[in-house]
Amino acid sequence: MTPASPAPQLAAPRPRGGIVQGVNDSLVIAQRNLIRMSRIPEVIIFGVIQPVMFVVLFSYVFGGSISVDGNTSPAAYREFLMAGIFAQTVTFATAGAGAGIADDMHKGLIDRFRSLPMARGAVLTGRTLADLVQTTLTLVVLAVVALLVGWRTHTSAGEVLGGFALLLLLGYAFSWIGALIGLSVRTPEAATSGGLIWLFPLTFISNAFVPSENMPTFLRTIAEWNPFSATVQAARQLFGNFPPGYEAPAAWPMQHPVTASILWSVLIILVFRTLSVRKYRSASA
């Protein structure tokens, strides 16, 4: 009787390389997440309701109570406000990105993806791209509501689209922060809390809702070098929403907001995408 031969060892699937393959894998994951989102419409609905409430409340409750370069009219504050609300909306999507990835980790779905021969960064890239699509839809609805309450732009269509593009770029950058948080916690609830707790000081110590010139010197410096403030300032500039005679603060990001916004967003993407993919790989080791 011949001894039984040892069972062959099955090699773990190797991720496929190449930029084209990585893009294809990312798009497949993005499509999967978009289909999933479409089957849970209440997530999209609630994601739209919150920023709409901010628009209405800030426009009618604070409008007329806050001075913008000496102008206290509700219309002046409404135009000043909207870029801040738009920016807050795209950055608050960070919590959803983190919670979604944490939920996939909790359910073991990420482990299934790891067993497939796909690019390592595709799972995270696909998720952030799907979140970007959802954020774009939310931003479109929010812009319509803003127009209904009296917000107007005073520049060309190209500049307005450029302003929205910078807002979406910031939202995409922040979604990578959410991805890192989602990979670092154990539950979706913790990812939601971790994704929001740092956003409140970031958005309120900025020029989103009040002019930074009215802040104490220490907070003013933080606000003017805040990446969130740079994008808000850039959006206001591209929308033509500065009041007549407005003079930007002397800080470099406020003098060159479009350049500062792009630099901040690209830097955040490079840093946090690298950290997120590294975290994903170490967790799968």
Domain coordinates of the chain in residue numbers? 31-284
Tokens of 240: 């033509």
Q: How far apart are CA 207 and CA 85, in angstroms?
A: 11
- The three-state secondary structure class of 129 is helix
pLDDT score at 190: 84
Name the band, by pLDDT with cuts 50, 70 and 90, for residue 10.
Answer: very low
What is the CA 206 to chain-centroid distance, rounded?
A: 16
Tokens of 57: 């409340």
pLDDT score at 8: 47
Q: pLDDT at residue 106 above 90?
A: no
Query: CB under 8 Å to 155, separation ≥6 — which residues?
Result: 238, 239, 240
Q: pLDDT at residue 69 above 70?
A: no
pTM recorded for the entire structure: 0.85
The total of other beta-carbon atoms located within 10 Å of residue 61's CB is 9
Q: How far apart are the first and last CA of the chain?
A: 41
Tokens of 203: 């958005």
Query: CB under 8 Å to 131, separation ≥6 — which residues?
Result: 33, 93, 96, 97, 100, 171, 172, 175, 178
Rank 35-39, 98-102, 190-194, 239-243 by mean pLDDT and report only the highest: 239-243
Lowest mean pLDDT among 2-6, 82-86, 276-280: 2-6
- The three-state secondary structure class of 68 is strand
